[in-house]
Structures are given as C-alpha cells and as structure tokens.
Amino acid sequence: MANTDKIKKLLDTMGPASRVNRTKIADYIIENENLFSALIETIFETEYKYHHKAAWVLELILDDNLEWIIPHLDFFTNNLSILKNQSAIRPASKICKWIAIAFDKKTISKNELRKTHIENIVEAGFDWLIENNKVATQAYSMSFLFLFGKQKKSNFNWIHKELKNILTQNIPSESPAYKAQGKHVLKIMKKISLAQS
C-alpha cells in the first residue's frame, strides 16, 4: 500500500474532527515519520474529499516539530495557491505564520527558506487576504506578510506598502476581529516606519 493510501485510510476513519481524533493521527505519523511526506502530498490532492483533514493533522505535528517542514518547503510553498477549501487554507496560513516567525527569529535560515519560498507564501497571503476567507486565515496572513515585509536588506520591502493599502481599504467594512488585527498590524508598521525615518 502506498503511503498516501495509508494516510487516506487514516483520514477516512478519523471520525468526528475532534482534537482527540486529530491528535491520534498526528501522534501516529510522528511515530512513523516515513508517512510525513505523504501527509503533505495529501493536503494538495484537492479532489480527495478529506484533504483538509490532512492539513489539520499537519498543523498539529508542526506545532511542536516545525523543522519537519524544511525539507518539504519547495512542495509546500509551490502548491499553496491550489488550496480552495477554507478548512485546508486556515491551517496552511497558520503554518505560514509559524514559518515567518521562525525566519524572523532566525531559527529557520535563509539557506532553508529561500526567496522563491517566501515569494510563494507572500503571493498566497495576499490572495487569502483579498479573497473572501475566514477571519482567522486573514489574520494569519496579515501577520506573516507583516513579518516578511519587515526583513531588512530584502526584496520584500514593498510588502508593507501593499499590506497597508489593503488593510486601510478593508478595515471599515470588515468584522470586529479583522478590524482589531488590521489596526494592530497598521500600528506596528507605523512605529517601524517612524523609527526608520
């Protein structure tokens, strides 16, 4: 049986999407690390009806083992744009936020997270922010776009200007949660801008 078939069998029999059930599968994959790449592949098999459950499990695994994603960054970031299911996009955006935090703190290096990876994450983030996504996805996107945009000596200093334009335009008509996160990000960007001027 191929590893992706094993993953699908686990997800098919997961039962209700409770944290207990998701954790059970996450723990199994942590114990059987050879299944990890198949889990990531399954997330992007969007015709498979439970591909979003694979994203939930990945989120649980990476919460304590973010370094596991590093060898898979090419595949993961290249395929972000094909996700359309809200239940898959939310954990993917959260993982992107964790990657951005690790990169900002230098626990993931520039040799590991390359320019093309960041470009793919940034492109997905702006799409998720502009499209009609759930507020959690939009909040995670704001956070990682902000973090990548504040990198000194990078080709991504344009991000803050674009992010500011989108947030300023959207905040008046969005939900209270969006407004709160958007205003928080704008406030930090303004502080950085003042400090650099």
pLDDT digits (tens, 9 = 90+) for 27-53: 999 999 999 999 999 999 999 999 999
pLDDT at residue number 175 = 92
Per-residue model confidence as pLDDT tens digits over 9-22: 999 999 887 889 99
Roughly how many angstroms between the first and final C-alpha of the chain, as a whole number? Answer: 60
The mean pLDDT value for 60-81 works out to 97
What are the residue boundaries of the structural domains of the chain, listed by start?
1-64, 77-197
Using the predicted structure, report yes or no on whether residue 152 has a pLDDT greater than 90.
no
pLDDT at residue number 1 = 56
pLDDT at residue number 192 = 82
From CA 151, how far away is CA 119, in angstroms rounded? 13
The mean pLDDT value for 155-176 works out to 92
Angle, in degrees to the nearest 10, between helices 176-196 and 135-149: 10
Using the predicted structure, report yes or no on whether residue 194 has a pLDDT greater than 90.
no
Instruction: Place 153 in a pLDDT band, splitting at 50, 70 and 90.
Output: low
pLDDT at residue number 155 = 80
The mean pLDDT value for 77-84 works out to 97
The mean pLDDT value for 158-167 works out to 95
Tokens 């950085």 identify what position?
Answer: 192
- 117 with 157: CB under 8 angstroms? no
From CA 158, how far away is CA 107, in angstroms rounded? 24
Q: What average pLDDT does the chain have?
A: 94
